[in-house]
Chains A and B, each alone.
Chain A
Amino acid sequence: MNEFMRKLLFLPEEGSAYAAEVDRLHFFVITVTMISATMVALATLYFFVKYKRKSETQATPRVEPKAIHEILFIGVPLGFFLLWFAIGFPLFVKLQNPPKDAMDVYVQAKKWMWKFSYPGGPNGTDVLRVPAGRPVRLLITSRDVIHSFFVPDLRLKQDAVPGRYAQTWFTASRPGRHQVLCAEYCGIGHSAMLAEVVAMDPVSFDAWLAEARRSSVPSAQDWPGEGADPRATLPEQGRRLAAEYGCFKCHTVDGTRHIGPTWLDLYRKSEKLEDGSTVIADEAYLTESIMDPAARIVAGYQNNMPTFQGRIPAPEIAAIVEFIKTLRTDAVHPEPSKGPVYVPVTGYDPTRASR
């Protein structure tokens, strides 16, 4: 029955015991809602059919309500409403008060990504690995604007507010994957701010955590000296390189016009050039524009960009182009888990966090 209702109402799977409890209340409330709306509509129709106007001047009796009518009108719905509250609020209180033995994970939202950090490491983006069957407490904050951590499968949502922490918790009932969406509007990347909760069986989670902590330590030593994190994906490296070479002084990645064209949705975009012709901004054009910017200028922009010929090695240019290719507002990741990209825990100046 519950399964039927869940399918009927298009609810996603129930990833936790809490989700199942919430759904039961959901079915109760929605069933009553549908029945009462239908009943009111039917009553209206019935009265309409029964009491059709017979003549233009027809008089009608004055019907005054008795006290019992109004008491019923108030009492019956109020009874239902308060019952729902009485069932629903304790569930909410439960959600707000994590069990003491919950494992902590820090969640930091940022335009437009989710960062998950485990005390003692590791620390990654966009994939939250948790052990199934064990409670996990999330301490959520934001770096810029308000975001909201939303996992439909777990019936879980908590806003990430900058400057303060919020908490929520869940226990995934079995291994599986659950999509995370940002539910509080946060700008052009709002709908692409997706992540994933991966519930693993506890044994493999423990093994994974130990492995991730072990491997993050040695690489931390060689990372700051190198130009790039060897474990970072190509686009990640590209982003870092673009920052180093100062690309962001003139190019934005959020769609706003600056000194140069924005990089958002630039790849494969059809750009109008100064001479009136158009060009598709593919890899070749992007590479050319880095090496010899003056060659083909997009209409409406000045020729301000210096040439980077000989200043950026070819693999790095490739990385930057790869980065530009990822900057898409329509980026919907049907399968966002390509393996988390972990940055080492150590190697940072902890004082820089405070303003």
Chain B
Amino acid sequence: MSPSLATTPPAPPAEPVYNPRNYLNAEAGIASWLLTRDHKRIGIMYFVGTTMAFALGGLFAMLIRIELLTPGPTIMSAMSYNRMFTLHGVVMIFIFMIPAIPGIFGNFLLPIMVGARDVAFPKLNLLSFYLWAAGAIIALYGMIHGGADTGWTFYTPYSTTTVTKVVPILLGAFVIGFSSILTGLNFIVTTHTLRAPGISWMKMPLFVWSIYATSVIQILATPVLGITLLLVAFEHAFGWGVFDPALGGDPILFQHMFWFYSHPAVYIMVLPAMAVISEVIQAAARKNIFGYRAVAFSSLGIAFVGFFTWGHHMFTSGQSTLDAGVFGVLSMFVGIFTAIKVFNWTATLYKGAVRFTTPFAYFLGFMFFLVFGGMTGIALATVSLDVHWQDTYFVVAHFHFIMVGGVIMAWLAAIHYWWPKMFGRLYSEGWGLVSAVLIILGFNATFIPQFLLGNSGMPRRYYSYPERFWPLNVASTAGASLLAFGFAIIAIYLAISLKWGKVAGPNPWGSRGYEWGTLSPPPPENFLEQPVFDRPPHDYSEELPGMEVTHAT
């Protein structure tokens, strides 16, 4: 099988073939995994690790929702509840979501998509994984020994005076930050120096563009988080207060420094999701993207303008009116780049050849949630509206629309889309659609009531609440259980497919993304021979009978 996308490959075999010598079985033994420098294996290790983190964070989320089932105490004390939502935030954001898509799919696919054998610094890549693992373990240590009750935002002076174990959590996040920096560094250098002949910047898959933009943010923003968390840890441990108001410190400065990272961090999470969607939509519609340049450059635009908007988290904090205006108007511009992407994705379907598959179902969910979540984000940046919504469930619902409705949907779409490539086997499409429907419905039921809760004035991080908020909270909890049920189904049928799934063959979707030109699962060297990239990715403008290897149906 020639990896070339264009030069007359042999006719596809009648039955799909499982690549007998692949990255999964090329070497055997635990050590070959733990010491691997193969980007694909590192991607799989991230998959296993971050999925466990997701399960843990999801467990915390369910406990929070159960606690909020009644206005008073339900199953835990206020202290436990405060720890729960802190750990839910820390686990989901730092341990799961920031490394998830770049760590799993960035690692697995980016080198393949640029036609390289590996990332630029394979050892650094492995180190980055172990830093992630170390950070996760440090944070886990903190959780077991009491957890923290500060919220994932670690606002001072609460975080510097709390008696809970906030220092290990801070250090864990700090170490994970380093992992994130090294991953970003690796991807940028890989994109710059290891693109195969034929892949110019304007022929790179859009996935690579988005991951590249993500990496830029990781490089520029994460160090600021590092130093900020260290300062808080110092203040907590030794009383060297930079933010301590008793010593003339300014707690608002902490918020500035924290959001200088944490706002761009939203894009660290969302841009990879957009990366996935750009690929999934082109394959599902059998059509090249509408406005390649617009989508590619809007990723860079998000990375760039995303840095100028952090102050919109602080409209009610005592920040100056002028700064609020500056940040407010700049926030409007960052919304534009997302709008460009959304319109171009929609327009991609025009004159396409669309097939409804599980990844496409998640794409549909993603589109609605991203538009609604993004537009409510713009609404939140409309300064005077934010005064009412700041720190209420409206904000909670907004960012869950982006994070769950956007990122998790894209993550699920990515898992379902690239599962055959990663493991060479197909999952049950029927169960895939069932769980997609469950998740999309459950998601709406969980978070739309939270918008209304925010409107009616329920602040976030409330352990107990006045009874007028009760019905909407019950609705939200009911939705959350539906959501959990959907995830459980996915875990089951994916696990089954690993061993008993139908063999996928190299290209079950008939996709013309570069990564589908190699075997499934890919051989350790990615391509058996150096491929020729003489067409842009996802070019479906003519029929290539030899290439259409679709076994998905």
Is A11 interfacial (CB-CB < 8 Å)?
Answer: yes
Which of B17-25, B213-221, B333-341 faces chain A?
Answer: B333-341
A162, B335: Cβ atoms closer than 8 Å? no
Chain A residues with CB below 8 A from B315, complex form: 92
Is A280 interfacial (CB-CB < 8 Å)?
Answer: no
A10 to B397, CA, bound (A): 15
Which residues in chain B, 169-195, are within 8 Å of chain A measured between CB atoms? Answer: none
DSSP majority for the A interface?
mixed
Which of A293-301, A311-319, A329-337, A342-350 faces chain B?
Answer: A329-337
B465, A332: Cβ atoms closer than 8 Å? yes
Chain A residues with CB below 8 A from B390, complex form: 148, 157, 183
B455, A10: Cβ atoms closer than 8 Å? yes
A84, B351: Cβ atoms closer than 8 Å? no
Q: A10-B455, A69-B347, A89-B383 are in contact. Are A256 and B161 (CB under 8 A)?
A: no
Contact with A along B378-395 (1 / 0, CB 8 A): 110111110110111000
B336, A47: Cβ atoms closer than 8 Å? no
Nearest chain B residue, comparing its CB with the CB of A8: B452
Chain B residues with CB below 8 A from A158, complex form: 316, 318
Chain A residues with CB below 8 A from B122, complex form: none
Residue in A70, A155, A256, A330 whose beta carbon sits within 8 Å of that of B294 in the complex: A70
A329, B385: Cβ atoms closer than 8 Å? no
Query: How far, in Å, is B406 (CB) from chain A's closest CB?
Result: 13
Is A88 interfacial (CB-CB < 8 Å)?
Answer: yes
Q: A63-B350, A85-B382 are in contact. Are A11 and B286 (CB under 8 A)?
A: no
Is A188 interfacial (CB-CB < 8 Å)?
Answer: yes
B364, A62: Cβ atoms closer than 8 Å? no
A48 to B355, CA, bound (A): 8
Is A214 interfacial (CB-CB < 8 Å)?
Answer: no
Contact with B along A25-42 (1 / 0, CB 8 A): 110011011101100110
Nearest chain A residue, comparing its CB with the CB of B356: A48
Chain A residues with CB below 8 A from B367, complex form: 40-41, 44
Which of A49-57, A201-209, A240-248, A283-291 faces chain B?
Answer: A49-57
Is A282 interfacial (CB-CB < 8 Å)?
Answer: no
Query: How far, in Å, is A261 (CB) from chain B's closest CB?
Result: 13
A44, B462: Cβ atoms closer than 8 Å? no
Nearest chain B residue, comparing its CB with the CB of A43: B346
Residue in B246, B285, B291 whose beta carbon sits within 8 Å of that of A51 in the complex: B285
Chain A residues with CB below 8 A from B336, complex form: 74, 77-78, 81
Q: A88-B385, A89-B384, A191-B465 are in contact. Are A12 and B157 (CB under 8 A)?
A: no
Contact with A along B132-166 (1 / 0, CB 8 A): 00000000000000000111000101100111000
B342, A40: Cβ atoms closer than 8 Å? yes
B251, A162: Cβ atoms closer than 8 Å? yes
Is A95 interfacial (CB-CB < 8 Å)?
Answer: yes
Sample (20) of A-B pairs whose CB atoms are under 8 Å apart: A33-B379, A65-B290, A69-B347, A74-B336, A78-B336, A88-B328, A89-B383, A92-B383, A146-B317, A148-B316, A148-B391, A150-B459, A155-B388, A163-B245, A181-B457, A184-B155, A187-B162, A188-B149, A191-B465, A332-B72
By a beta-carbon cutoff of 8 Å, the part of chain A in contact with chain B is: 9-12, 22, 25-26, 29-30, 32-34, 36-37, 40-41, 43-45, 47-48, 51-65, 69-70, 73-74, 77-78, 81-82, 84-85, 87-89, 91-93, 95-97, 144-146, 148, 150, 152-153, 155-159, 161-164, 166, 179, 181-192, 194, 255-256, 265, 329-332, 334, 355
